[in-house]
Structure 1
């Protein structure tokens, strides 16, 4: 075991064999993330990060990237029933309404660090039992200019996270354990840009039965698939505007609001 600076324990050895390729190569995730960002956009992000630091508008945050699946699956092959916990924010929220995201949020003054923040926020949003969760590793902090958040993704694993569901409908619309095979399926992948002026910078996205996963979350999942060796060739020339892509989202629950 290794201790984080916040006093919470990271247990990378608790990862099942199929997660080892990712946990052993976490430094590759930020690099894979940045590979899809044009150099001028990366430069703009660096400037925005520096400005937020100087003005004091940058806020610390953490998200929980929780994988579930069999602990004793043979070899490093990804099990068919492995999944990833994802939420969709309520459509009435002021910021990021209707956007798919990892559970997580801003650091509270009493939080002891990013692992604490990620577990606390995920518990508040999804009702998960934090004692079932094994934090494995933290990724490099990533700056998100629209919100000013300096986000630490916390990779975690549970063979069985127990029941999860929407806790507060004013904050969260959907809580779902999405099969990893749904993210890997090339038929579910596309590139999305937010508006006409930013079409040159389209990020990876995932069109699923009840959500469009794009933006920061889509970028991180795409980078994780690449680093873990799970990604398969997909059509990166399928580039759509955000409104067009959102219109393709179905309304029949494919994964359900509550997962037992």
Structure 2
């Protein structure tokens, strides 16, 4: 594994849910789920990147919103890693043998859906082309370079109509916010990649709050 993994893994060994959210994780939730945080390299010296998909605009929930591949656990899934890899295979055509599960992050609670979400961190050791497997669910798939995510010009905070304010990234024609942006922001800090950025740059969510910014 590349040397850039080491600082991140050293810090994650001590990580707790409180590092990612101020909300305490209840013992039980309506559903268990998992997402895949797939880190790879572009092979051209560009450094690490992370795989993110964009939900279709026609979905009932999270329409147009960028997210990690993932979803609810199925009865046949042996663990959170199995769920994350299965979902990534179904959503973007990931070959599960091309990725190595490295560790699991603390389970987090999404109160709006009452889901427990376990982020699964994996090393994409053999990258291959991926694409939306069902355009009705996934509109596009992007490998977002860490260098672009930490660029201060691409970072901001967004304000939800409810009053909630959280980190966001405007990159590759997408506005990444919510759960995905919160986890990414923490991982960038833990990996030693983050650089100072203007946290006073706060914008309201465009439109309904789920549409991407072009």
Query: TM-score, normalised on structure 2?
Result: 0.91
The corresponding residue for 1:4 is: none
CA deviations 1:24-69 (Å, max 9, x no partner) are: 22133744423xxxxxxx4xx44xx54x93xxx5210000000011
Distance (whole Å) between structure 2 residues aligned to residue 141 and residue 105 of structure 1:
14
Change in CA separation of 1:23 and 1:70 when aligned onto 2, cut-off 3 Å: farther
**Secondary structure of the corresponding residue to residue 243 of structure 1:** coil
Which protein has the bigger strand share?
2
Q: How does 1:1-150 map to 2 (within 5 A)?
A: 15-26=1-12, 27-28=14-15, 30-34=17-21, 42=22, 45-46=23-24, 50=26, 53=28, 58-69=30-41, 80-150=46-116
Distance (whole Å) between structure 1 residues aligned to residue 212 and residue 53 of structure 2:
18
For residue 218 of structure 1, the aligned residue among 181, 185, 194 is: 181
Question: If you compute each CA radius of gyration, which structure gives the higher value, 1 or 2?
Answer: 1
Offset at residue 23 of structure 1 (A): 1.6
RMSD: 2.2
Count of matched residue positions in the alignment of Structure 1 and Structure 2: 212
Offset at residue 95 of structure 1 (A): 1.1
The corresponding residue for 1:207 is: 170
Distance (whole Å) between structure 2 residues aligned to residue 140 and residue 117 of structure 1:
16
| Alignment check: 8 A CA contact 1:208 1:249 kept | no
| Alignment check: 8 A CA contact 1:58 1:149 kept | yes
| Alignment check: 8 A CA contact 1:64 1:156 kept | yes
Offset at residue 16 of structure 1 (A): 2.1
Which protein has the bigger helix share?
1
Distance (whole Å) between structure 1 residues aligned to residue 111 and residue 191 of structure 2:
27
For residue 191 of structure 1, the aligned residue among 139, 157, 161 is: 157
Distance (whole Å) between structure 2 residues aligned to residue 29 and residue 136 of structure 1:
17
**Secondary structure of the corresponding residue to residue 60 of structure 2:** coil
Query: TM-score, normalised on structure 1?
Result: 0.76
The corresponding residue for 1:9 is: none
Distance (whole Å) between structure 2 residues aligned to residue 247 and residue 87 of structure 1:
13
Distance (whole Å) between structure 2 residues aligned to residue 120 and residue 246 of structure 1:
25
The corresponding residue for 2:122 is: 156
Change in CA separation of 1:120 and 1:247 when aligned onto 2, cut-off 3 Å: closer
| Alignment check: 8 A CA contact 2:81 2:120 kept | yes
**Secondary structure of the corresponding residue to residue 206 of structure 2:** helix
| Alignment check: 8 A CA contact 2:57 2:139 kept | yes
